Amino acid sequence: MNIIVTGGAGFIGSNFVFLELREHPEDRIICIDKLTYAGNLKTLKPVMDKPNFKFYKADICDKTAMEEIFKTEKPDIVVNFAAESHVDRSIENPQIFLETNIIGTSVLMDMSRKYGVKRYHQVSTDEVYGDLPLDRPDLFFTEETPLHTSSPYSSSKAGADLLVNAYHRTYGLPTTISRCSNNYGPYQFPEKLIPLMIANALADKKLPVYGAGQNVRDWLYVEDHCKAIDLIIRKGTVGEVYNIGGHNEMHNIDIVKIILKELGKPESLIEHVTDRAGHDQRYAIDPAKIHAELGWLPETMFKDGIKKTIKWYLDNKEWWEDIISGDYQNYYAEMYGKKEVID
């Protein structure tokens, strides 16, 4: 099969590309990424020369570019990871989130309809459900939980989800949606909580923690997430939504303390800062549906996954140090000049 993976130079997308090439060498992976600040072509360097992998630098909002790619590649499956995803950035500049996350999704689905894609999969987030109270540990997000967003980011993702459902109902586009909890693991952009805390701790810089750090997140190791998506696109029921959770709920402050302990750094590096506007209290997903229908369960407990993650960042300092310095953004220009689409 020909599988288009958008946002494939980003954190979760690149891990999905690696999984697919490893587990399904008979398939072709066509990666599309705009290479904005969070997309890193260096991440894909190990697979760029594989005969069943192809990379396009393009914007999913660009109808002309998407038309060219879909016409050339004739995809069987489209998996859309491409998204603006940082909540703080969405508060500062909502418009780019609406453009990429909603308009870009509509362009991809229009192309999927036109070129007879057999499955369009939208990678979404548990943040579309809003949050849960800290004093009700018995409550979890299910696929029937109403959408109740808190930020421009989560609103844009909820809007995209509604659009996907509308395309399925109105046009019969064969769609699926997955909503995941917080991911962590290799190749995560250093502005996110876990890699940011690792990088700051190693540099003996202050570790900024919102408020008292009591916000709770359900943490999912990225490879477990990718395995779930692989199951959904191959065996999931068309028109359905699947929640993907890690059963690893943690307070933010406890994660920071674990990282400091693993790195042998003092807790005095923690700096409590003014809380984020509209900060969600607790996310927790019930993944019973995907377990019952597809047999998926998370394989990585947080205590093991965080150690693997810290080790990866210690072993791959050049990767994230280049990002912090900004040098990674020069890599594409060095490799390909100003060419917009690699063919």
Active site residues: 126-127, 153
Which tokens hold the place of 280?
């969600």
3-class SS letters over 47-113: HCCCCCEEEEECCCCCHHHHHHHHHHHCCCEEEECCCCCCHHHHHHCHHHHHHHHHHHHHHHHHHHH
Give the side-chain half-sphere CA count within 13 A for 275. 11
Whole-number Cα distances in Å, 297 to 126, 224, 229, 285, 286: 17, 8, 12, 12, 11
Nearest to 70 by CA among 130, 129, 11, 2: 2
- Going across the sheet that includes 53-57, the strands are 53-57, 28-33, 2-6, 77-80, 119-125, 175-180, 241-244
Residue 341: DSSP 8-state: S
Please give the single-letter amino acid code of residue 9: A
Judge whether 226 and 261 are in contact, CB under 8 Å.
no
Give the 3-state secondary structure of residue 116: coil
